[in-house]
Amino acid sequence: MPRDAKIMSEALHRFQADKERRNARLERRTEEIYRRVPAVERIDRELRGTAARIVAAAFSEGGDPEKALEQLAALKGCQAHCSVILSPADATTYKKLGLQLTCEPKYQTNKLYHR
């Protein structure tokens, strides 16, 4: 039994270290994207702010935040417009919310290849 506990402890330690590395990498990548394309940071903040306002409103009314988050479905069919062509990841976020997205025919960067 003591050997099993030691193995589990070591595995948990490795898992936590790996998780911290992944989180740090994600944070660096996010900061890089925000630095390159400030509009993404603004959009991200707005989306987080919308969800936060919905949850706060639900708590202030004594309601269920899950039901409030379900109200995000009310955005379905709404329209959004961006001044540049968004990355596939950003466009996917809008699509998941059910928003109809239009973009100006201008890329975020002047790179030869865009993903």
Has residue 108 been placed in a domain? no
Has residue 105 been placed in a domain? no
Has residue 32 been placed in a domain? yes
pTM, 2 dp: 0.42
Model pLDDT for residues 51-77, shown as the tens digit of each residue: 677 767 777 767 666 776 677 777 788
Number of neighbours of residue 75 by Cβ within 10 angstroms: 13
> Residue 23 is part of which domain span?
2-74
How many domains are contained in the chain? 1
Has residue 107 been placed in a domain? no
Has residue 19 been placed in a domain? yes
As a residue count, the chain comes to 115
Has residue 84 been placed in a domain? no
Has residue 98 been placed in a domain? no
Rounded to 5 degrees, φ, ψ at 110 are -100, 20
Measured CA distances, 20 to 8, 9, 25 (Å): 18, 17, 9
Has residue 59 been placed in a domain? yes
Q: Note the pLDDT of residue 21.
A: 92
Per-residue pLDDT, averaged over 70-87, amounts to: 81
